[in-house]
Amino acid sequence: MKTAVALTIAGSDSGGGAGVQADLKTFAFNYVHGTSVITCLTAQNTKTVTEVMAVSSDMVKAQFEAVISDIKVDALKTGMLFNEEIISTVADCIKTWGGKNILIDPVMVSRTGAQLIDNEAVEAMKSLLFPQALMLTPNLYEAQLLSGISITSIDDMKQAATKIYDLGVKTVLIKGGAAQGENKGIDVFFDGQDYTVIQIKAVDTLNNHGTGCSLGAAITAHLALGKSLPRAIASAKEYVTTALEYSLEIGSGCGPIGHFFPMIESQYLEFHQN
Ligand code: PXL
């Protein structure tokens, strides 16, 4: 039996909700073996990030080469890359991989609106990574930063997607999880020709940490399984929406989504009776 393999190139979240931890859980619960290249460490819980430390670019490269020299990777995604040097290293690595299933999550601005990487790193991402992406998955803040459009409606999301597409990416999925009101949880996909408005339902929970990472990871997993981009997006949106419905009440801040809901009917409930 052939097992599909996905790779995440991203930062560690010690709280286990976002970043590499979210990606690996998402891969596993979408039937794909997960491998990882860790770019930075965050000291983080459900409330706050207290420290961030970059991994050396040599070590980033070494992790990547160890994985791809031995294991056939079917799809990869990038997440938090932290600085210009790591971005440039990752861009070179991806080029040597040569595969097409590349999802770039341009982690630049957090859901709370704080810019996470400096302007040089934003420019490096645009020039070195965007041209290699099969799909770019900005959140609303990142879409605003990249397009220069202030987004308050679905039409604004479409306009922003067009501007981002014009930066030279093959397809764009703007994630609407951070929207308020009736547009909450609506994503817009643009492939250069058609816009697809993707909506299942808005799940009203504070425990949504890692939603964006997990949506991208689930798309990557389904690409690794050989699905087309529209089918991968649909399956991923369904996974993340249900995981939000089963989100976890842990910590005193913003808890993670429930990545393991597929177990909910069986062992999971048995072990979590009270
Ligand atoms: O969702 C963006 C993100 C990516 N990677 C890491 C994170 C976060 C947000 O908290 O912690 C490691």
**Domains along the chain with CATH numbers:** 5-273 (3.40.1190.20)
> Taking the model in full, what pTM does it have?
0.96
26 CA from centroid of ligand 1 (Å): 14
Contacts of residue 36, defined as CB under 8 A and 6 or more positions apart, other chains included, come to 7, 8, 9, 10, 20, 23, 24, 63
44 CA from centroid of ligand 1 (Å): 9
Pocket probe for ligand 1: among 9, 14, 42, the residue whose CB has the most ligand atoms within 8 Å is 42
Q: How confident is the model at residue 142 (pLDDT cuts 50, 70, 90)?
A: very high
Q: What is the dihedral of CA 258, 261, 265, 270, to 10 degrees?
A: -40
**Ligand 1 pocket check for 212: Cβ under 6 Å:** yes
Q: What are the distances in angstroms from CA 173 to CA 151, 184, 214? A: 14, 15, 14
Residue nearest to atom 9 of ligand 1 (CA): 18
Mean pLDDT of all residues in 29-34: 97
Q: How confident is the model at residue 214 (pLDDT cuts 50, 70, 90)?
A: very high
Q: What are the distances in angstroms from CA 162 to CA 131, 158, 167? A: 15, 6, 9
Kindly calculate the radius of gyration of the chain based on its CA atoms and give it in whole angstroms. 17
**Ligand 1 pocket check for 44: Cβ under 6 Å:** yes
For residue 83, pLDDT beyond 60: yes
Is residue 209 exposed (0-12), middle (13-18) or buried (19+ Cβ within 10 Å)? Answer: buried
Ligand 1 atom with the smallest distance to the CA of 44 is 11
Contacts of residue 79, defined as CB under 8 A and 6 or more positions apart, other chains included, come to 8, 9, 10, 11, 19, 20, 23, 39, 105, 107, 213, 216
pLDDT at 113: 66
β-sheet bridge partners, residue 106: none
Helix (H) or strand (E) holding 261: none
**Ligand 1 pocket check for 173: Cβ under 6 Å:** no
pLDDT at 111: 66
Give the C-alpha separation, 140 to 149, whole Å. 10
273 CA from centroid of ligand 1 (Å): 31
62 CA from centroid of ligand 1 (Å): 22
pLDDT at 261: 84
Q: How confident is the model at residue 264 (pLDDT cuts 50, 70, 90)?
A: confident
**Ligand 1 pocket check for 13: Cβ under 6 Å:** yes
Helix (H) or strand (E) holding 25: helix 19-29
Considering the chain, what percentage of its residues have pLDDT values greater than 90? 84
Give the C-alpha separation, 161 to 147, whole Å. 8
Give the C-alpha separation, 211 to 42, whole Å. 17
